[in-house]
Amino acid sequence: MSEREHRWTMVIDLDRCTGCQACVVACSVENNIPVVGEDEVRMGRAMHWIRIERYWEGEYPNVRARFIPVICQQCERAPCEPVCPVFATYHSEVEHVNIQVYNRCIGTRYCANNCPYIARVFNWFDPQFPEPLNEQLNPDVTVRRRGIMEKCTFCIQRIRRAEEMAEAERRPLGDGDVQPACVQSCPAEALVFGDVADPNSRVAKLVRSRRAFRLLEELGTEPNVIYLKGGEAHVG
Amino acid sequence: MASKVTRRQFLKISGAGLLLLSGCTANLQRPVWMEPYVRAPEETLPGEDFWFASTCRMCPAGCGILVRVSNGRARKIEGNPAHPLNQGRLCARGQAGLQLLYHPDRLRHVLKRTGERGQGRWGRTTWEQIVEELAQQIQGMAPERIAFLTGLLPDYQATLVARFLKGLGAPPAVVYDTQAAFDGRVVLEAASQALFDVPVLPIFDIARADVVYAFGSNFLETWLSPVVYNRAYGRMRSQPGVRGMLIAFAPRLSMTAANADRWVPVPPGTEGLVALALGKIIVDEGWDKSNAELRGFYEGVDVGAVAQATGVPAEELVQFARRFAEAHHPVAMPGDLLAGSTNGLEATQAVEALNLVLGHLGEHGAIFLTPSPPSRDLRKVPVSPFQAVRELVDRMAAGEVDALFVLGANPVYELPAALGFTDALKNVQLVVTFASMMDETAALSDIVLPAHTYLETWGYEFVSPSTDRLIVSAQQPVVRPLYDTRDPGDVLLALADKLGGKVARRLPWPNLVHFIQTRLTSLQLLEGNIAAQDAKTFWAYWLQHGGWWSKEQAWQVPEPSQNLSAKRLLVPSPEFDGEASQYPLHLLPVPSVTFGDGRHAGLPWLQETPDPMTTATWDTWVELNPATAERLGVKHDEIVKVTSPFGEIEAVVYVFPGIHPDVVAVPVGQGHSAMGRWAEGRGANVLRILAPRTVPSTGQLAWAATRVRVTKTGRRRVLPRLESNIGVDRARERGVVPG
Ligand code: SF4
Ligand code: SF4
């Protein structure tokens, strides 16, 4: 496998996101996300790795709603990492992705408490996939058990698959070869994924947009998820 | 177009294609896979993925899909990047299709009622026996006493049903489901007929429009082709050098309206009036130079009266009109809500007329029309208006129907209760339902024929409405059928064979594949994505690519009808069922981005997916304007009763800032008494309390024309939602969101 450094980055264009939820379902399918049911959702324990936050602005009749997809921001300086007593969450220097090692996790939930983006979800119970619903499971992704913390991985299994494929075909990884499930599905093409270490990639160009910002930039977490501001006149 | 499927995956897109192309895969360098001594089933290689191209059937749009299959199991559905309709993308429903296939409560055998109807006591039988028995029963019936009620079926099924009935000499099927009513298909077709002389669905090229006016539209949610319109919306926002703008006129801030630059709330049923006023201003101010002969459209329109009726000040109407007229590529699109009003046809015409008076037809960013299918064999079976369902129910009630076959629809759930379908069913001797799960209608049937899901069977679809291409999308089984199920089309072929005579001559094919292949023969000669010398090769490529599509643009440029110059556009005041004094609020049923018209409520992924506007899951809620909620003395999470003249439901209050104070909105989809463990017994079914009102001009169900009253129950149930739960509000306190 190539050890060339990648800086995987997702760009989320808020001017395009319609709030349609396709990414939410796509992610659930790809990453074997458990369905927790009505009561658990009520307690705030839904386990989606991507959620579309909806903000009301103003009052009737001058009211608007804005949608913001939120995932793990894959921070360069991640507040969740140093608090894990068993190094279950750590930073990958090769991919610049924040990694969660399930079989190290002992469920202290310190990381979730320390994540300012509330990107982490916890398995309070063992997931249920009544037969034959288990057949839907993605064989590339571990099913997590009770007591394990989890969160968006940038679909690391897809990054690996694309790398292996490129290697087998003896070609460099191309821009757009890696598509996390949410990006692949997004009908409004609001999500773009790629390697900012490659100056010609689409993301490398988009992060230079004057609409670009990061969530809670002032915390100094240096997210690898870049948002493009929406809802105002701009061009391109 | 950027293809996101790698070469290696592409070569595996179809089993048939694989065989054909094996010659050219040999020189590809790639890992070697070890094969165990035990022979795996055909088409599976342990650890190796196959990608099969097919067509999504989670709604009638017909998006192209690629299904990842490993070890004989379907693991993921993605959009087919080569398919010109959805270009690789899917919506939330399309993503969830695997759970139709692997739902634990699927029907696995042919079922025959043993107890009373609806008691839920069933015996098993075999396909051979049931075909024999049905053939005997049909033979003993007068053909005109046999009826089919189908939803918006995929073309192959619709065509087989039509031929079957024709062969029998029975009346044509009633083709109706609530999705079609929400789309307003018959209304849109009637409007095209009136303005352009062809009864086809319009296509709006919003991707290249600089100003889009959407009237009562949820085009980003469930309307006609959600993926196409989401993609077009995204592109509209970032065109080279231009950011397109969207303005939404509607009584509720739908997800679509939420994405608009400006939402203009108007009372239900008055969107068409706004369009009339805008047109009037446009002609009065002389923006319509080239189309002066159409001025008669707006004779007698009083902008002041419109301002009064809609609450949109006259000065603002003038600004809206000018902004539209000044734009280079403006487009006005009518939406689902218009079709739900009693003045739907007139309102739809008034909206589309805005494109006409400015002469923006069939050009960059404008309105186009769906072309005819590339061959006669691919003609579509027309959708029936609600009126046809009403007539069917009347005939059933009068004892004029001996056998009712239901396919792709769930009338017991989706029809307004006041129509009396369930009662009328009692007078039908034999009720047969094709279904993959025990839904409400199947539960009241005598015979339930378990159907393949779309991932287990063959099919084709002439995609309509499409994009600018002609598309005949391919459907193929991606896994072996899990249970003893059959495609309804194959059941009809077997029945026809058994019946013999004229029916057998109409359906002479031994199986579905033969039938589909005959439909495709004419395509082989046309210029498209497939170049094949013979039928076999064409078939292999068709499956491999996921369909056939034209090389050239094929959407039709609308030609204004000859008799428009004498036409005056009139939008009558909307009518509503229920006395305003007793039922002070307007009820707006809202089709769901996850459940559609309710048919997908059984899928847990979709149950747990938040509604975009309220972030609610797993339940039914009632959206009330804050002022209305205050007047009624209710808050978030209180249970209220919503009563129409035709029934009542209970649901949880969601105080919704984006809704007209005279309107309550209730999402469609829950309130199932059947359809598996995740659907049953949760929430309420708002469709049941709608007035069964038919609009005379089109026969359409006026589904947004019922008045209701909302009353407190004093009980409470916390709505399971994301908002203020998963730290969304906490996130706001922490300033996760700028500004
Ligand atoms: S799929 Fe795309 S448009 Fe839809 S909610 Fe997700 S990011 Fe937004
Ligand atoms: S719009 Fe969604 S449900 Fe409809 S065909 Fe496309 S992906 Fe399937």
Q: How far apart are CA B364 and CA B161, in angstroms?
A: 39
CA atoms within 13 A on the CB side of B111: 27
Whether residues B226 and A187 touch (CB distance < 8 A) is answered with yes
The type of residue at B688 is R
Give which of B125, B129, B72 is closest to B101, Cα–Cα: B72
Q: How far apart are CA B416 and CA B577, in angstroms?
A: 13
A185 touches chain B (CB under 8 A): yes
In a domain, B432, yes or no: no
Taking a C-beta distance cutoff of 8 angstroms, is the pair B277, B301 a contact?
yes
Last residue of a domain, one of B306, B334, B369: B369
Closest C-alpha residue for ligand 1 atom 8? A17
**Looking at residue B565, what is its pLDDT?**
84
Residues 6 or more apart whose Cβ sits within 8 Å of residue B160? B488, B489, B492, B493, B507, B515
Q: Mean pLDDT per segment of 10 residues, for chain B of length 739 residues?
A: 45 41 47 60 72 97 96 95 97 97 98 96 97 97 97 97 97 96 96 96 97 96 96 96 95 97 96 97 88 87 96 97 97 95 97 95 95 94 96 98 98 97 97 98 98 98 94 97 97 97 96 96 93 94 97 94 89 94 97 96 98 97 97 96 98 97 97 97 97 94 97 95 64 43
Paired tokens of B137:
């029963």
**Looking at residue A61, what is its pLDDT?**
94
Q: What is the DSSP code string of A43-109?
A: TT----SSEEEEEEES-TTS-EEEEEEE-----TT-TTSTT-TT--EEEETTTTEEEE-TTT-----
Which whole number is the average pLDDT over A2-15? 86
Give which of A97, A72, A101 is closest to A89, Cα–Cα: A101
Taking a C-beta distance cutoff of 8 angstroms, is the pair A195, A201 a contact?
yes
Taking a C-beta distance cutoff of 8 angstroms, is the pair A197, A6 a contact?
yes
**Looking at residue A218, what is its pLDDT?**
95
- Alpha carbon separation from B413 to A57, B119, B151, B668 (Å, rounded): 37, 17, 13, 11
A15 touches chain B (CB under 8 A): yes
- Chain B partners within 8 Å of A12 (Cβ): none
In a domain, B342, yes or no: yes
Q: Does residue B61 line the site of ligand 2, with CB under 6 A?
A: yes
- Furthest C-alpha separation in chain A: 59
Residues in chain A: 236
Instruction: Please report which confidence band the pLDDT of residue A43 belongs to, taking 50, 70 and 90 as the band edges.
Output: confident
Give the gap in angstroms from C-alpha A92 to the nearest C-alpha of chain B. Answer: 25
Q: For chain A, what are the domain ranges?
A: 8-228
* Residue B313, Cβ density class (10 Å: 0-12 exposed, 13-18 middle, ≥19 buried): exposed
In a domain, B546, yes or no: no
Q: How far apart are CA B652 and CA B610, in angstroms?
A: 15
What's the first-to-final CA gap in chain A, in angstroms? Answer: 37
Beta-strand ranges (E) seen in B130-261 are 146-150, 174-175, 202-204, 211-215, 245-250
**Looking at residue B26, what is its pLDDT?**
45
Q: How far apart are CA B685 and CA B680, in angstroms?
A: 11
Taking a C-beta distance cutoff of 8 angstroms, is the pair A117, B736 a contact?
yes
CATH assignment of A8-228?
3.30.70.20
Closest C-alpha residue for ligand 2 atom 6? B63
Taking a C-beta distance cutoff of 8 angstroms, is the pair B475, B54 a contact?
yes
- Best interface-test mutation with A: which of B73, B249, B609, B630 has the largest number of A CBs within 10 A? B609
Put simply, the chain A residues between 21 and 80 with a CB less than 8 A from any chain B CB are 21-22, 24-26, 28-30, 35-39, 41-44, 46, 48, 51-56, 58-61, 63-68, 70
Closest C-alpha residue for ligand 1 atom 4? A20
Of B7, B605, B727, the CB nearest to A25: B605
**Looking at residue A1, what is its pLDDT?**
43
Closest C-alpha residue for ligand 2 atom 4? B59
Paired tokens of B10:
């592409």
How many other C-beta atoms are found inside a 10 Å radius of the C-beta of residue B649?
A: 22
Sign of the alpha-carbon dihedral angle for B544, B546, B548, B553: negative
A94 touches chain B (CB under 8 A): no
Q: At how many degrees (to 10) do helices B127-139 and B488-499 cross?
A: 60
Instruction: Determine phi and psi for B471, rounding to 5 degrees.
Output: -130, 125
Q: How far apart are CA B258 and CA B266, in angstroms?
A: 15
Give the gap in angstroms from C-alpha A120 to the nearest C-alpha of chain B. Answer: 10
Residues 6 or more apart whose Cβ sits within 8 Å of residue B242? A235, B210
Give the gap in angstroms from C-alpha B281 to the nearest C-alpha of chain A. Answer: 24
**Looking at residue B168, what is its pLDDT?**
96
Q: Which of B85, B86, B221 to mutate to test the pocket of ligand 2 (most atoms within 8 A of CB)?
A: B86
* Residue B159, Cβ density class (10 Å: 0-12 exposed, 13-18 middle, ≥19 buried): buried
The CATH number of residue B680's host domain is 2.40.40.20
Last residue of a domain, one of B311, B337, B369: B369
**Looking at residue B301, what is its pLDDT?**
95
The type of residue at B18 is L
Q: What is the pLDDT of residues A104-149, one digit of tens each?
A: 999 999 999 999 999 999 999 999 999 999 999 999 999 999 999 9
For residue B254, what is the DSSP state? -
Q: What is the DSSP code string of B564-613?
A: GTT-----PPP--BS-TTT--EEEEEE-BTTTBTTTTTT-HHHHTSPPTT
Of A61, A189, A236, the CB nearest to B234: A189
* Residue span of the structural domain in which B699 resides: 585-734
Q: Does residue B226 line the site of ligand 2, with CB under 6 A?
A: yes
For residue B380, what is the DSSP state? P
Paired tokens of A43:
């307690």
Query: Residue B382: is the preceding peptide bond cis (ω within 30°)?
Result: no
Beta-strand ranges (E) seen in B41-155 are 49-55, 64-70, 73-79, 110-113, 122-125, 146-150
Angle at A49 between CA A48 and CA A50, to 5 degrees: 90
Give the gap in angstroms from C-alpha B616 to the nearest C-alpha of chain A. Answer: 9
Q: How far apart are CA B512 and CA A88, in angstroms?
A: 53
Judging by DSSP bridges, how do beta strands B245-250 and A8-13 pair with one another? unpaired
**Tokens 């087998």 belong to residue:** A168
What's the first-to-final CA gap in chain B, in angstroms? Answer: 37
Q: What is the pLDDT of residues B238-291, one digit of tens each?
A: 999 999 999 999 999 999 999 999 999 999 999 999 999 999 999 999 998 767
- Chain B partners within 8 Å of A133 (Cβ): 99, 102-104, 604
* pTM flag (> 0.90): yes
**Tokens 């694309």 belong to residue:** A162
Q: Does residue A180 line the site of ligand 1, with CB under 6 A?
A: no
Give residue B475 CA to ligand 1 midpoint distance, Å. Answer: 26
Whether residues A15 and B237 touch (CB distance < 8 A) is answered with yes
CA atoms within 13 A on the CB side of B622: 37
